[in-house]
Amino acid sequence: MGTRYNLIAGDSVERLAALSDGLFAVAMTLLVLDLKLPAREGIATDQALLAALGDLAPRVLVYLMSFLTLGIFWVGQQAQLSHFARGNRHVTWINLIFLFAVSLMPFSTSLMAEFITLRPALLLYWLNILLLGVLLFAGWRYAVRAGLVAPEVTESISRSLERRIIIAQALYAFGAALCFVSTWWSIGFIILVQMIYVLGPQRGILSRI
């Protein structure tokens, strides 16, 4: 009975994709809860309100970065799942741990927004991104080796998916290292990398990322 259960557990890729969609949606929604309205007390003029909104700008920047982060990883996971012919309990649990890392993003975002100039906060944020990347890579590599991907997935497609994750993580690591110069440099570089992945250039050297 136990062996039979292990064979059929986690077989539905559709259910895994639906769970992923829901958890990503919740995590992306929770991000915005960290954006608090300026306190009403002490704000009586246009200039005071604009100044208070200006103080909120760093949190908005971190919110944007995290929204892009989750969006990129959602697209990456969906690209993988769309190439699965079936699942199994091992690949399901790898993806569940991946979703655990997704659920941590609102916390790491809030921490960095609160301590935006401190290196430990940014490095913990990067570790969250690293965990996402490692698990996404591990899930795909296991699926390929276990024969769970669709027959039309060529070795070239597989290498392309893996290369995209590796390059992204290398760029994120470089961005995190910039925090030893300035956390603002790190944030700026990471957002630049994210915009490249969002826009998806079709020509030039950036098209290889």
Query: SS3 letters for 81-135?
Result: HCCECCCCHHHHHHHHHHHHHHHHHHHHHHHHHHCCCCHHHHHHHHHHHHHHHHH
Ranges under pLDDT 70 in the chain: 1-11, 38, 201-209
Give the pLDDT confidence score for residue 45 in this predicted structure. Answer: 80
Give the pLDDT confidence score for residue 23 in this predicted structure. Answer: 95
**CA nearest 66: which of 25, 26, 106, 39?**
106
Give the pLDDT confidence score for residue 2 in this predicted structure. Answer: 47
Q: How far apart are CA 30 and CA 100, in angstroms?
A: 14
Classify 11 as helix, strand or coil.
coil
- Phi then psi for residue 15, to 5 deg, are -65, -40
Residue type, 125: Y
Give the pLDDT confidence score for residue 206 in this predicted structure. Answer: 58
Give the pLDDT confidence score for residue 203 in this predicted structure. Answer: 57
